[in-house]
Amino acid sequence: MRERNPAIQQSRIPPCPLAHFPSHCIVTPTERSTLSSDECRRLVPELAHTSNPNVWVSRFRDREKGWILSIATHAEPGSKKLSLGGFRIAPQERTDAPGFDPDREAIGLAMGMEEKVYWSRLIHVGGPLAQRDMRRIVGGKCVLQPTPDARVGQPHDFELLDWAIDCFRAFEKESGVHLTTGQDLGHGVMSDGKTQSLDYLSRRFAGSVDADTSQPTGEGNYYVLVGMLRALGIPIQKATVGMIGLGNIGRHIFERLHADGATVFAVESNATRREAAEAAGARVWDASGKDELLRQPIQALVVNAAGGTLDSHTVDACVTNAKLRVICGSENLVMPDPSGAETLRRAH
């Protein structure tokens, strides 16, 4: 069994409680800094207009490796609340995007999780453990910016995850908040060719939930799509649907649509997934074909990519498509410019 990364445990200075909101603390060779709720609102102004405008961020940075882990949570320091939200190893398409910042990404994702928690609490939806602890659960998110050689499947992936686990433990000890995290983007089979990254995490960190959430998410997304089309008098069996992203969630929706007999056009960056969808009868483009997809006579658009799908150009293309009536999906941080939502509403 591999030993845990000692980077955070050796040469440790006394812990710096988040409750005191220090501006900077260093654990050699890992730097630790925090953002107060006021600083988070300045970084992400739309946070101030949400139902819970208080988010705190704890950032860890390995000065030697260049890895950065940002943990955002709506849980007040020292509250012992459960910060619920996945562990995202930011994919390259996100880290290469202009202006990418793991703090900003984590805050935006935590806001989305907090909205989900709000609705679950409001309508009393959740399993036995969620129902038991509903008042303690708040939205959060963990975003890890790796180096290329440490992504899952690359030579230093075990070292990266060991470091992240030590950061999780340090966060819990020093913040007085409990992490409940798990599947998100960036996970898979590690460099030994057999270990799943979530299996590795869950065996070493108690707050990591080893579960595939893509199937229930995709199932919910499918029924939202069916209900929206039904409201417009369009039976799913006769619908023409455009899809952006055929990953774990998108693939599940695609399989449901294929079984229904719906016509599907799709955009997917992964060649193997494109081939599978084409073999099932869909017309599929790579990432460069998004404009072509949006010129097709689609009645609905389902977005489940890595983020930023509904940029201003795409919103304009949606408005131009006279057949398009419905846009839905489970993509986080889907709209870089929030004003696009009102543009789509005005276009019905």
Q: Give the fold, CATH level 3, of 215-346.
A: Rossmann fold (3.40.50)
CATH architecture of the domain with range 6-211 = 3-Layer(aba) Sandwich (3.40)
Q: Structure tokens of 239?
A: 């619908």
Backbone phi, psi, residue 253, to 5°: -65, -40
pLDDT recorded at residue 215: 86
pLDDT recorded at residue 303: 96
CATH 3.40.50.10860 residue window(s) in the chain: 6-211
33 strand-pairing partners: 59
Asked if 46 and 338 count as a contact pair (C-beta separation under 8 A), the reply is yes
CATH 3.40.50.720 residue window(s) in the chain: 215-346
Cis peptide before 29 (omega within 30 of 0): yes
Q: Write the CB contacts of 209 (distance below 8 Å, at least 6 apart in sequence).
A: 180, 181, 182, 183, 202
pLDDT recorded at residue 41: 97
| Residue 22, SS3 per DSSP | coil
pLDDT recorded at residue 65: 95
Asked if 47 and 41 count as a contact pair (C-beta separation under 8 A), the reply is yes
pLDDT means per 10 residues, the chain with 348 residues, are 40 36 50 96 95 96 96 97 96 88 96 93 87 93 97 97 97 96 92 96 94 87 96 96 94 95 95 94 94 97 92 96 94 88 93
- Rounded distance between C-alpha atoms, residue 192 and residue 340, angstroms: 44
pLDDT recorded at residue 54: 97
- Rounded distance between C-alpha atoms, residue 140 and residue 162, angstroms: 21
pLDDT recorded at residue 29: 87
pLDDT recorded at residue 147: 97
pLDDT recorded at residue 14: 36
pLDDT recorded at residue 185: 87
What is the torsional sign of CA 160, 72, 114, 315?
negative
pTM beyond 0.85, yes or no: no
